[in-house]
């Protein structure tokens, strides 16, 4: 983990190795923060009902718990609790397969749940929740009197999309238009980094711009090519600016060769009769994973603030606060709301501004949401 938990001898509980391993960032969530945030205090306030997990089954297929968050991907085996580390996990006995299973305990799972809530708040505060960052039509039309016919060059003609965010931007091609005479369907091949992914069917509407459902989403590195055999189209090529789009780069290509995967491709900035209705979404999970080293101080300050908010509100009615931590309600309120002193709230706001500055330097400038005009206010939950 990029940020872990250091055992502090305030509790006899031993967390699993995923939580206590040396963090990639060098930072532990519970170090260098308010001294009342101890392992014992955290466990005293986190929900802690009795929980039973299903016994491991040799025939069951388990998913990666860190991704699915499903209780069914945690099992009981030989009186111990194991967390599935991989998807398509079938037939791997938990006590023998450390690549597939992590021995854990209920306390570790509760702490991971709280850390998940912290990261969810980080995404919310930075406006990194999955959101639409672009939707537009890309097409060219003949604008000089009567339509003209144009033979596309080469053997193949393609539109190429490259997500600016590489693996944290999802592009959805909602609709496609193909300006070709007639209504005979055309096969469109989809390649990613030279490998055929799938094929789709595109039906022209006798030369007019008529958008029809396409419904294809993709995320990943490299070029995504949408290819047809070169043919005669209705219209004329028009200039395409590859850098004119938010969240992605788009341009056309011409291919020459016996087959798609071995063809020689040359880039172009001229239209080829194909038009798109495109939506682009930010998928923040991967972005945060990629950049958590830099965002780690903000995650840590959010963890501190949320822990103190939990002590103040005691939402799970876990204990008597006065018996568990050395802070009265007024002190907790000060730590979680005051921005003048060196409080948890002040540290949270400072680290948030630093993280926002980092977002503004991202290659994809649409990643950072525009200032909405609201000021930052910190309050208890």
Predicted confidence (pLDDT) per residue in 83-129, tens digit: 999 999 999 999 999 999 999 999 999 999 999 999 889 888 887 65
Q: Which percentage of the chain shows pLDDT scores above 70?
A: 83
Give the domain range for residue 313. Answer: 3-128+284-360
Residue-wise pLDDT tens digits, 191-220: 998 899 999 999 999 988 899 999 999 987
Statement to judge: residues 170 and 253 lie in one domain = yes
Statement to judge: residues 277 and 295 lie in one domain = no
The per-residue pLDDT for 229 is: 97
Statement to judge: residues 258 and 324 lie in one domain = no
Q: What are the DSSP E strand ranges found in the chain? A: 3-4, 27-28, 61-62, 74-77, 80-84, 89-90, 101-104, 131-138, 149-151, 156-163, 169-178, 186-192, 195-202, 212-218, 224-229, 232-234, 248-256, 264-268, 274-282
Statement to judge: residues 155 and 219 lie in one domain = yes
**Residue 378: inside a domain:** no
Angle, alpha carbons 257-262-268 (nearest 5°)? 65
Statement to judge: residues 100 and 124 lie in one domain = yes
Find the CATH number of the domain harbouring 136: 2.60.120
Residue-wise pLDDT tens digits, 130-180: 666 677 888 766 555 555 788 999 999 999 998 876 567 889 999 999 999
Handedness of CA 328, 333, 335, 338 (dihedral sign): negative
Statement to judge: residues 57 and 178 lie in one domain = no
**Residue 373: inside a domain:** no
Per the structure, the count of domains in the chain is 2
**Residue 261: inside a domain:** yes
**Residue 181: inside a domain:** yes
**Residue 91: inside a domain:** yes
Statement to judge: residues 76 and 161 lie in one domain = no
Looking at 223, 258, 282, the residue that finishes a domain is: 282
**Residue 376: inside a domain:** no
Residue-wise pLDDT tens digits, 226-246: 999 999 998 777 778 777 777
**Residue 370: inside a domain:** no
């Amino acid at each position: 983990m990029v940020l872990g938990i250091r055992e502090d001898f305030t509790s006899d509980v031993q967390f699993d190795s995923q939580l206590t391993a040396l963090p990639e960032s060098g930072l532990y969530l519970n170090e260098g923060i308010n001294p009342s945030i101890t392992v014992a205090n955290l466990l005293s306030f986190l929900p802690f009902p009795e929980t039973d997990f299903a016994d491991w089954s040799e025939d069951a297929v388990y998913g990666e718990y860190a991704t699915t968050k499903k209780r069914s991907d945690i099992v009981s085996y030989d009186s111990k609790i194991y967390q599935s580390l991989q998807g398509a996990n079938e037939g791997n006995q938990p006590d023998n397969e450390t690549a597939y299973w992590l021995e854990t305990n209920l306390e570790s799972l509760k702490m991971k749940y709280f850390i998940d809530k912290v990261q969810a708040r980080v995404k919310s505060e930075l406006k990194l929740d999955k959101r639409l960052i672009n939707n537009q039509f890309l097409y060219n039309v003949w604008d000089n009197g009567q339509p003209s016919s144009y033979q596309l060059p080469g053997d193949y003609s393609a539109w190429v999309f490259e997500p600016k965010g590489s693996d944290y931007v999802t592009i959805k091609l909602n609709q496609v238009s193909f300006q070709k005479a007639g209504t005979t369907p055309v096969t469109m091949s989809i390649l990613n980094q030279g490998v055929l992914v799938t094929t789709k069917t595109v039906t022209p509407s006798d030369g007019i711009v008529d958008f029809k459902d396409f419904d294809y989403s993709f995320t990943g590195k490299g070029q995504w090519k949408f290819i047809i055999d070169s043919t005669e189209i209705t219209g004329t090529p028009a200039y395409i600016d590859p850098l004119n789009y938010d969240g992605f780069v788009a341009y056309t290509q011409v291919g020459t060769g016996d087959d798609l995967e071995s063809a020689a491709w040359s880039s172009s900035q001229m239209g080829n009769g194909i038009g798109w209705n495109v939506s682009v979404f930010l998928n923040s999970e991967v972005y945060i994973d990629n950049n958590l080293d830099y965002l780690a101080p903000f995650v840590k300050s959010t963890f501190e603030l949320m822990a103190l908010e939990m002590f103040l509100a005691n939402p799970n009615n876990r204990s008597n606060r006065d018996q568990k931590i050395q802070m009265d309600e007024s002190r907790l309120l000060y730590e979680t709301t005051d921005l003048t002193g060196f409080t948890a709230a002040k540290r949270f706001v400072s680290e948030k501004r630093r993280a926002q500055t980092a977002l503004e330097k991202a290659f994809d400038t649409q990643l950072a949401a525009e200032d909405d005009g609201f000021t930052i206010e910190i309050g208890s939950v």
